[in-house]
Structure 1
Amino acid sequence: MAVRRGAVRSVVVAGLLSLGAVAPGVTQAQARAGAAGSAGPEADVAYHGRVALSGTRLRVWLVTENDGPAALPNATLRVRLSGDLADRQRLAEGCARAGMREVVCETGALPPHGRGRHVGLLLEMRERAPEVLVRVDTWWNGGATDRNLANNEHVVLALDTGDAYAF
């Protein structure tokens, strides 16, 4: 599996931050202030796309956006599923498996009022199900303040029809 160094770095940083660690050069007080939303640039990360389930194959296509006002050098989006993934997955560049039901992908640079990378995933489910609940959200955003979570937290029910469901 080819994973870009930036994706792995984003995943590792996000994991460390969730455990209470801080980035180099940042004090614990600064980290607490950032968690309270009073530090970091203000950005508005958004995801738009669609999902389709056919048999055991789940397709996820999305585009990352930043409605501004500040640019972000990178962020990490997370895709969580209601069912288990098969053991072996071929993931898109910049993506990594984060658990039995989770995949994370780096967004790349997000310019203000612009688009980041397009992400396309073809995920193989462990077993066939009549439906899969797909949750898309931001796992790590580099400490940015995002006052509009409505456009980066999505829940989509994909039925095993092959039809695409938009978010």
Structure 2
Amino acid sequence: MRVVAVCGVAVAVAVLVGGGTAVGGTAVAAGGPEADLAYHGVAALSGGRMDLRFTPRNHGPAAVPDATVRLRWSEPLVEQQALPDGCAREAERVVLCRVGALAADAVGERVEMRVGLRGVPSEVLLEIDTVWNGGTVDLNRVNDRQRVLVLDSGDEYYF
């Protein structure tokens, strides 16, 4: 919380942290309808290739008119990638995927991809988060931000 004095009157200005919560975890409405996005899936790493599949879900109460998720790897991706429709490379370690509109309390279409990583890392940290939610407010950012450490074992890691 930051306090700013205006003409001798203290005005509290909430600094939003984590997309809709103030410092200390108190919910703050930031305008717009409330929706709760979540991403759940599985990732496996073997020989410098990661298989990833996840499904977006909107727990509601409002519909999401459009959403985009960011996938960020701790290791750089190889230059040439065959990405699914709706996904595009943003940076050497980042891919953005449009998940589209999601009705309230509905599951979206599953996103599946295989990406190649430079070299053959023994482990990769995958971070997933929402970068666009169509103007809705998500007061529960815990389930739309995932961090998954995937070891080069071929085992599946669920999130």
Q: Show the counterpart of 1:123.
A: 115
Amino acid at match of 1:105: C
Q: Which string of whole-angstrom CA distances, capped at 9 and with x for unpartnered residues, describes residues 53-102 of structure 1?
A: 00111111000000000001210001100000000000001000010000
What percentage of aligned pairs have identical amino acids?
A: 46
Residue 106 (structure 2) aligned to one of 108, 114, 122 = 114
Q: Show the counterpart of 1:44.
A: 36
Q: Distance in 2 between matches of 1:64 and 1:50?
A: 12
SS of 2:147's partner is strand
TM-score calculated relative to the size of structure 1 = 0.77
SS of 2:110's partner is strand
Q: Show the counterpart of 1:95.
A: 87
Structure 2 gap segments, 5+ residues each: 1-18, 21-27
What is the correspondence of 1:12-161 to structure 2 with a 5 Å cutoff?
37-161=29-153
Large movers: runs of 4+ above 4 Å: 34-37
Amino acid at match of 1:60: L
TM-score calculated relative to the size of structure 2 = 0.81
Q: Distance in 1 between matches of 2:52 and 2:150?
A: 10
Q: Output the aligned Cα RMSD.
A: 1.5
Structure 1 gap segments, 5+ residues each: 1-33
Q: Distance in 2 between matches of 1:163 and 1:66?
A: 28
Task: Choose 1 or 2 for highest CA Rg.
Answer: 2
Aligned length: 134
SS of 1:70's partner is coil
